[in-house]
Chains A and B, each alone.
Chain A
Amino acid sequence: MDLIQPLIVQGAQMFLALALAPALIGFVRKVKAQLLRRRGPPILQPYRDLIRLLRKDVVLADNASWLFRAAPYMVFAGTWVAAALVPTFASGLMFSWSADLVAIIALLGSARFFLALAGLDVGTSFGGIGSSREVMIASLAEPALIVIVFTMALLAGSTQLSTIASFMASNDVGIRISLGMALIALLIVALAENARIPVDNPATHLELTMVHEAMVLEYSGRHLALMEFAAWLQLLLYLSLIGCMFAPWGLTTASTNPGGYLVGLAAYILKLIAGGMVLGLFEVVIAKMRVFRVPEFVGVALMLALLATLLRYVSSSQ
């Protein structure tokens, strides 16, 4: 019994992430459309897109290699494993000790590595430009994320996400400047890593401003479905991460009764709705940046995160 329950919770989280990721992206699109006084596609549209893409044949470029065909699965698997390790409605996941926050970031890094390689495989100019810009943005966003992890780990005394979440939920946190800085930095990183406005525009095509879309331009059918799904999962992952570190309310621990899980689930969905609305609103009111303004924007995240860590070092006593 004491093995089966955590296993169910872990499995439920894994599939919950899969189930909710398209709904989240549909919701964000709906919010944006409504704010622009458009009706917008229904929230369930991404599910339909996925199913349609999965049914279609794959059209591969003549010189696509095995890497091009393997990359969607690697990107999807890396993102999914990372997403499964982030607490959504319950902390203390069964396998949370198998990878700490640094490892989760590195898993996302693996997914990005394959994505960038896939962009180069066919040998088109669009794929190259996408990969090139992706690694440029990631070269600032990833260290910023690691340094944010430093801040959180110094506070909670652990890099395990479950421990950080339960520490943040406890009462002895209080309001700290370093936490505020880390939150702002994390928000910037989340925008950059998920190819959202102002860093990238998820709705553009055929423009030289695009990054993520340019890398997956040659994909079609089930491969494209997996690439899109991985991107949606990553957005869900970042919202869960922000939720469980900075708004850990309602997060149940593994030991409570089943009723606690329902509360946790409701709280989680509310958090996603709130996050999606904020994201939609933000994207509507801000303009896309020029590519070479992006390093300054993401560089702010790195500097804020470093300042937050330095504050932790300075204020921590022996």
Chain B
Amino acid sequence: MKPALDWLDQRTGYKKLLHETLFENVPGGARWRYVWGSTLAFCFTIQVITGLALWLAYSPSSQTAWESVYFIQHEMWGGWFLRGLHHFTAQAMTVLLVIHLMQVVIDGAYKAPRELNFWSGIVLLLLTLGLSLTGYLLPWDQKGFWATKVATNIAAITPFIGPALQKVVVGGNDYGHHTLTRFFALHAGFIPGAIIAFIGVHIYLFRRHGITPKEPRRRPDAAFWPDQVLRDAVACLAVLLVVLFLIFRFHGAELGAPADPSEQFSAARPEWYFLFLFELLKYFPGGTEIWGAIVIPGVLMGILAAMPFVGNWKLGHRFNVTFLWAMLVGIGALTFLALKADRGNPDYHAAVLAAERDAHRAVLLAQSPEGIPPTGAVTLLRQDAFTQGPKLFAKNCASCHRYDGHDGVGGQPKDAPSAADLKGFASREWLTGLLDPEKITTPHYFGGSKLQGGKMAKFVKNDVVAFSAEAKTDLAKALTALSAEARLKTQHAADQRDASLIQSGTKALIGTTLGCMDCHKFHDSGEELGSAPDLTGYGSREWLIDFIHNPEHPRFYGSRNDRMPAFGEEKQLTTQEIGLITDWLRGEWYEPKKL
């Protein structure tokens, strides 16, 4: 072995290099407070390795970024763990940077002749924050998209160069493919390249000037190897354990719903360590924002960078340490205020819940047999009845109707309900309630509309109430038959089971005892269209779509229609939107098969 190593040493001089690396003098012996630089180098190494591995599967474009991250997270071997490691190590790195900075300032390691080393450290701090900012956008989920959009809009207020800077970073006037290609190039190329260069400078200068010993020295000087190396290794292990804990605790990094530039995202917040800047912006009224976004952070960074000079004064060091603590307390207080404001804000909670629901749904749809179309996952949510139905209902229907007592998305409209509650429309239960003399004129059914004075309401209140026991049984059967017309997914099993009941119910429905056919039409039986809604296919997808399209059609309410607009006829809703509302009301949306 030895001859081979000697041969190598003669050609490379590695022994000298190794000796210099391992036997650097540590004045006063190894100490725990010197470990922070090493933990940062360790974290950066993790980021390079995990980042390269993620690169193997990531595709930066607005049609593939979320999709490829989804695939990493949910389909690839250990993808969730890899992403989690990258994500939480980034968080750890931010914390460690602050600790490292505190140790350097408190120990006075920024003073001459180490000014350049201190400044290179500040550059590294800013570059790492740059990595966080650029990395946040790359999954192209709602959260990253909107938070970064705010960040680049704020960058645009920089005097003189702002708008040009924004355009160059965003890759044009609006967010799109080139925003991702640029952010990815910054995140995986430019910034890491600069970091590697500055780490080189940082370590070279550190070795040149040596550790700044913490006085008093407890022990005699010692070599870096093995005592300090052991301490560094233990600290790195501790960091790794914390990161692993976080990965398993949260099952990897979060992935929100795919970015949709036209879809509101009210829960847009930056990463937690930028929350103080976010909060700061709330305190600067219109037009003075530049103070919060640029001037104040700039001045603070300026004072930080001036520490080596300030430190030369008599009380300079004390000032520097006090300043750093004050700055950290200020940042902490602003972060706390931001979190507190959100905690007490029901709108924010609702937005977070909606975002989580959309995120969960996007993954379910991506995993469905249809998978993600080439137009991207954003189309999945846009065409999903479960996602869009409630929103469309809230916007277009809830000013009169309700769904289970609310507006579809859980809110309460300003005006009281003035049309039927459509939860379970055309189901047996819903129809039974409609034909109940006690219920038909309540706001749940016809109570709020002019139908409460109509023929149907009179029939139920005057005739049904006087039905014989036999007629009441017939009515129940007839309603079962009518409900079967809707072919509701939720009643599929019951409809199949009750086939014979439905058959006799149909006879009752078209028979003379109940008198339904005196006004209504049902397949080949009953009145001509125009006197009451057609019961053929009542509540089915096709029936409901046609109804929403134009309730004034003779097949439905004709001229007796109350206030319901002809949503399709008057182009208030597109055919696709009517289909989404219909499918949602009927409970027809994709659900994964239960195993």
Q: Do A and B come from one complex?
A: no
